[in-house]
């Protein structure tokens, strides 16, 4: 995703103290969640009115995703989510967390939704505890997605169950039809630098 500068012809030269922040998400782990928080903090000081979050990811750790969602909820600036390439697993959930009307997807990109995986091995009681936690997270993230998409809370749970809990792949038009995204295109960022002279 690129930005374009438009400067007033009244300016001979200019230099931004901070360039616009575009947050790119390729992974969902502790380091990427920390980078996500840091870039959101930086974006508060650029003068931009929206924080673009560009997603191109196969997914990752659910707890890191939850940390990113907490960062979005705490942000005073609205967030636009943009999928380039793929938004799979955690990426699909993050995509739905853009501001209403500000969720974008390249026409050739792919979204994939599936159940949370635990991958737990060990003693019987440990496996049971892990399965209960996986079920809790599954219900939580599908509820978040449904609320963001204007669907009943159990919409995605039912859709996944209907598909035998197999991976659910969606193209851009399908995502738009069920409210995951609002636009089947990649937006452009325009940075306008002007001169304003006033008299008081």
Sorted by where each starts, the structural domains of the chain and their CATH numbers stand as 3-8+18-191 (3.90.226.10)
**In this predicted model, what pLDDT tens digit does every residue of 99-144 receive, in sequence order?**
999 999 999 999 999 998 755 544 556 556 778 888 999 999 999 9
Asked if 161 is an active-site residue, the reply is no
Pairing outcome for strands 168-170 and 110-113: antiparallel
At residue 198, the pLDDT reads 80
Identified catalytic residue from 67, 75, 114, 118: 114
**Annotated catalytic residue 89:** yes
Mean pLDDT of 181-196: 86
Catalytic residue of the set 32, 57, 64, 89 = 89
187: phi > 0 → left, psi -120 to 50 → alpha, else beta; which?
beta
pLDDT digits (tens, 9 = 90+) for 49-63: 999 999 999 999 999
**Mean pLDDT, rounded, for 69-85:** 97
Helices (H), the chain: 30-43, 62-74, 90-95, 124-148, 155-162, 172-177
Q: Is 159 exposed, middle or buried (0-12, 13-18, 19+ CB in 10 A)?
A: middle
């Amino acid at each position: 995703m690129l930005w374009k500068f438009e400067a007033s012809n009244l300016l001979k030269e200019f230099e931004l103290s901070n360039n616009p922040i575009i947050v790119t998400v390729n992974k969902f782990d502790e380091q990427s969640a920390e980078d996500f928080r840091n870039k959101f903090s930086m974006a508060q000081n650029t003068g931009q009115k929206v924080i673009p979050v560009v997603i191109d990811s196969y997914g990752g750790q659910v707890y890191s995703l939850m940390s990113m969602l907490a960062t979005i909820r705490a942000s005073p600036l609205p967030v636009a989510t943009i999928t380039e390439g793929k938004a799979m697993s955690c990426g699909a959930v993050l995509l739905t967390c853009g501001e209403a009307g500000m969720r974008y997807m390249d026409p050739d990109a792919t979204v994939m939704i599936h159940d949370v995986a635990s991958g737990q091995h060990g003693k019987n009681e440990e496996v049971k505890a892990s399965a209960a936690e996986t079920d809790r997270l599954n219900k939580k993230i599908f509820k978040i997605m449904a609320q963001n998409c204007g669907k009943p809370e159990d919409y995605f749970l039912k859709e996944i169950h209907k598909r035998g809990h197999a991976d659910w792949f969606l193209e851009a038009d399908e995502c738009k039809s069920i409210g995951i995204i609002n636009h089947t295109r990649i937006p452009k960022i325009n940075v306008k630098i002007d001169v304003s002279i006033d008299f008081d």
